[in-house]
Structure 1
Amino acid sequence: MTPEVASIVWLFGGIGWYVIRFPYQRRNRRKNTVVQSQFDLRENILLGCSLSGLAVVPLIYVFTGWLSFADYSFHWLQGVLGTAVMAAALWMFHLSHRDLGRNWSVSLELRDSHNLVTEGSYRYVRHPMYTAFWLLALAQALLLPNVIAGLAGVVGFGMLFFGRIDREESMMLAVFGDEYRQYMRRTARVFPKIY
């Protein structure tokens, strides 16, 4: 495993990410009516931070080398580990979309006939899609041997996660009340039995 191959793995992971999300995004945009939304300036800024860290900065690095001053020595083992983490991220991303179905949205929105999903990947964590994003950010850090491009995903997605998670859970509590409180008591937020 070389840095070039690791960069290709990262690129294909990004393509896989899009391939998984596209059908859900297209279907939900056409068939679901939004009944409550918190899509505001704050949400736009947080989404922009995440996109910048997980896509824009690493793409600049991969295709231009402009950030090469922040490169560090690459070990083949981190490429192998990064590939495994990327595969896990894509698998979790697929499961979370499949399990959430028509309840999914890119932002903090509730759709008509929205229901609380607690089965499948949601049986183990309340936010498996965030689990997938954290794994993606870790895979990026392992696959791109550059302090800036590698860690940009952790920083960018971290801003989205910590800027959004409390709002999201407050919205779920307001809508689902005690049912969501019970779900919170028995289910970890992002990583089973850890957090």
Structure 2
Amino acid sequence: MMSLAVAGKALWVVLIVAWYLLRRPFDRRARRAKLTVDRRKGADTLRLAISLTGLGIIPAVYAATSQPGFASYAPSPVLFALGILTGIAALLLFRLTHKALGQMWSVSLQLKQDHKLITTGIYKRLRHPMYTAFWLMALTQALLLPNYIAGLSGLAGFGFLFFSRIGAEEQMMEEAFGEEYRQYRARTWRVLPLVY
């Protein structure tokens, strides 16, 4: 019978693969669109690398090798069950955000030619639901991987990206959409309804 620790690793791998497969068609379409603003170079590339390290590289090493072993702890069935729920929620939200954005989606601080401000669907109440999906994925990683370093590295890595990028992203949107964005910002939450 598979141990809970092995099941957590396997489920984390399945979620990462599903995450990639959901994003792939949108990424291919978005790459074909011409850019009018591209702020990926420099600081944003570093932010993305740190986030990838926490959400991908460190947990992948743990899933493959169980290292760093000194940071492991006994897995919990309750945390595992919560990890399944948050993982499903993350994937659903991830799909909804990509579908709503279509070609307006970008992995970085970029605006497409004829870029439109999306304010419907999942974006009606939240300005950054894709970040909400990433927070849920990082939480899922912490719940499924019973290792203090591998489990929590996603929260740390993505947290760094989020808190160092959100201001620049909102400034870019305000510069591009002016009053329309200011009104949208005034009636929405950033990532969590009624909280933030």
TM-score (norm 2): 0.97
Please state if 1:100 is matched with 2:119: no
Structure 2 counterpart of 1:6: 8
Q: Name the aligned partner's letter for residue 130 of structure 1.
A: Y
Structure 2 unaligned segments of length 5 or more: list them: none
Structure 2 counterpart of 1:18: 20
Cα deviation digits, residues 131-171 of structure 1 (max 9, x gap): 00000000000000000000000000001101110000000
Structure 2 counterpart of 1:45: 46
Q: Name the aligned partner's letter for residue 28 of structure 1.
A: A
Cα deviation digits, residues 105-147 of structure 1 (max 9, x gap): 1100000110000001101210010000000000000000000
Structure 2 counterpart of 1:172: 173
Structure 1 counterpart of 2:142: 141
Measured after TM superposition, the shift of residue 7 of structure 1 is 1.2
Structure 2 counterpart of 1:36: 37
Measured after TM superposition, the shift of residue 71 of structure 1 is 0.5
Measured after TM superposition, the shift of residue 40 of structure 1 is 1.6
SS in 2 for 1:182: helix
Please state if 1:111 is matched with 2:112: yes
SS in 2 for 1:192: coil
Measured after TM superposition, the shift of residue 3 of structure 1 is 1.4
Q: Name the aligned partner's letter for residue 23 of structure 2.
A: R
Structure 2 counterpart of 1:120: 121
Post-superposition, which runs of at least 4 consecutive aligned residues in structure 1 deviate over 3 A?
Answer: none
CA RMSD of aligned residues (A): 0.8
- 1-side partners of 2:97 and 2:168: how far apart? 20
Structure 2 counterpart of 1:151: 152
- 2-side partners of 1:119 and 1:68: how far apart? 46
- 2-side partners of 1:40 and 1:164: how far apart? 13
Q: Which moved more, 1:1-10 or 1:170-179?
A: 1-10
Measured after TM superposition, the shift of residue 33 of structure 1 is 0.1
SS in 2 for 1:110: strand
Structure 1 unaligned segments of length 5 or more: list them: none
Structure 2 counterpart of 1:189: 190
SS in 1 for 2:98: helix
- 1-side partners of 2:30 and 2:76: how far apart? 42
- 2-side partners of 1:57 and 1:167: how far apart? 27
Cα deviation digits, residues 73-103 of structure 1 (max 9, x gap): 2111110110110000000000000001110
Aligned residues, how many?
194
Q: Name the aligned partner's letter for residue 165 of structure 1.
A: I
Q: Name the aligned partner's letter for residue 173 of structure 1.
A: E
Measured after TM superposition, the shift of residue 193 of structure 1 is 1.0
* Map 1:70-85 → 2, pairs under 5 A: 70-85=71-86
SS in 1 for 2:47: helix
